[in-house]
Every structure is written in structure tokens, then in C-alpha cells.
Amino acid sequence: MEELIGTLAGIFTTVAAVPQIFKAWKTKKVDDVSPKMFLVLTLGVALWTVYGILKADTPIIITNGISTILNSTMLFLILKFRNT
Amino acid sequence: MEELIGTLAGIFTTVAAVPQIFKAWKTKKVDDVSPKMFLVLTLGVALWTVYGILKADTPIIITNGISTILNSTMLFLILKFRNT
């Protein structure tokens, strides 16, 4: 049971940024989105990835590695579309 | 070293929603923010909290418990300020 809940939790938190990325890409509008949130989130999941590498913990590396890519993509879109 | 990186990662990912909450509260504008992102994120960290309870893992319970409160707060603000 625990493993199922942990896997679901990992999937949800990993892909959470996807709908925000689609919305930003479609509307080209990001003024209401906080760049600080995505900066802090990207740093956090990048640190979790380093933590996973140090612990040789594959699930932590994979989920947070994907999150690092997704959240830094959103950070890029915020910088690209700001004040458009 | 690993514990320090894990603690920093936990703090960053836990408080990441705070700047977005402040921005939404100040501007009362949330149209560019994806409600689906915060729904999926809230479900994810809530599931991580359940996972922590089942594993009796205090750090996981605390960090994800706080994240659940913060992300559901942002979800509430999105519903409250949408189309204002």
C-alpha cells in the first residue's frame, strides 16, 4: 500500500508543473505567475536530485530530475514572456 | 553533507509556494496561474503526507504537511480571485 501511495505522490508532484507550462505556452501570458516560486522550486528539486545521487536512490533521482527540467522550463517561459 | 542537502531541499520545496501566495494576495490577479497545477501539486503533497504517516517518517510528514496547507491556500486564492 505504502509503495503505491509513494509512487502516486511522486508522479503527481513530478508532473504538477506541466499544466502551467502548457497554459503559459498557449497564452504567452505569465504576469500573474511568481518567478520567485519557480526559482525556489527549481533549486529545491535540483538539490533533491543531488541528494538522490549521494544516496544512490533511483526514484528520488528520476522524479526530481524530471521536476528540475520541468520547473526550469517554466522559469525560462516566465523570463521569455514577461511583459509581452 | 547529505543531511544538509536534504534539509535545504526540503525547506526550498516546502516554502516555494509562499512567493506565489503573496503575489496573488497583493495583486488579486491569478488569471495566468494554472489551477490544475496547484490541484495536482496539492494532491501530490497530501499523498506524500499520508506516505510519511504510514512510514512514521517525521521529516516527510512535516515538510509535506506544510506544503499541503500552502498549496491548498493558493488553490483557494485562485478560485477566489479568478475573473476579478
Chain A residues in contact with B23 (beta carbon < 8 A): 32, 34
Question: How close does chain B come to A56, measured CA to CA in Å?
Answer: 11
Determine whether the interchain pair B19/A37 forms a contact, defined as Cβ–Cβ distance below 8 Å: yes
| pLDDT level of residue A84 (50, 70, 90 thresholds) | low
The DSSP 8-state label assigned to residue A13 in this structure reads H
How many domains does the structure of chain A reveal? Answer: 1
Average pLDDT in chain B: 94
Q: Which of A13, A29, A48 has the CB atom closest to B48's CB atom?
A: A13
Q: Supply the pLDDT for residue B59.
A: 84
Could you tell me the sign of the dihedral formed by the alpha carbons of B64, B68, B71, B74, in that order? negative
ipTM of the complex: 0.89
The CATH number that applies at residue B54 is 1.20.1280.290
Question: How close does chain B come to A15, measured CA to CA in Å?
Answer: 8
Q: Supply the pLDDT for residue A1.
A: 85
Closest by Cα among B14, B70, B39, B19 to A18: B39
Summarised one tens digit per residue, pLDDT across range A1-40 is 888 998 899 999 999 999 999 999 999 999 999 999 999 9
Determine whether the interchain pair B5/A43 forms a contact, defined as Cβ–Cβ distance below 8 Å: no
Determine whether the interchain pair A32/B24 forms a contact, defined as Cβ–Cβ distance below 8 Å: yes
Q: Supply the pLDDT for residue A18.
A: 97
Q: Supply the pLDDT for residue B83.
A: 75
Could you tell me the sign of the dihedral formed by the alpha carbons of B65, B7, B17, B19, in that order? positive
CA A12 to chain centre: 11
Chain B residues in contact with A40 (beta carbon < 8 A): 12, 15-16, 19
Give the domain extent around A35: 2-81
Q: Supply the pLDDT for residue B84.
A: 62
Per-residue DSSP letters for B16-33?
Answer: THHHHHHHHHHH---TTS
CA B66 to chain centre: 7
Mean pLDDT, range B37-52, rounded to an integer: 96
Q: Which of B1, B32, B54 has the CB atom closest to A2's CB atom?
A: B54
Instruction: Give the integer Cα–Cα distance in Å for B73 and B50.
Output: 19
Q: Supply the pLDDT for residue B2.
A: 85
Q: Supply the pLDDT for residue A17.
A: 96
Q: Which of B9, B23, B30 has the CB atom closest to A44's CB atom?
A: B9
Residue to test with chain B: of A34, A43, A63, A66, most B Cβ within 10 A: A34
Summarised one tens digit per residue, pLDDT across range A29-82 is 999 999 999 999 999 999 999 999 999 988 889 999 999 999 999 999 999 999
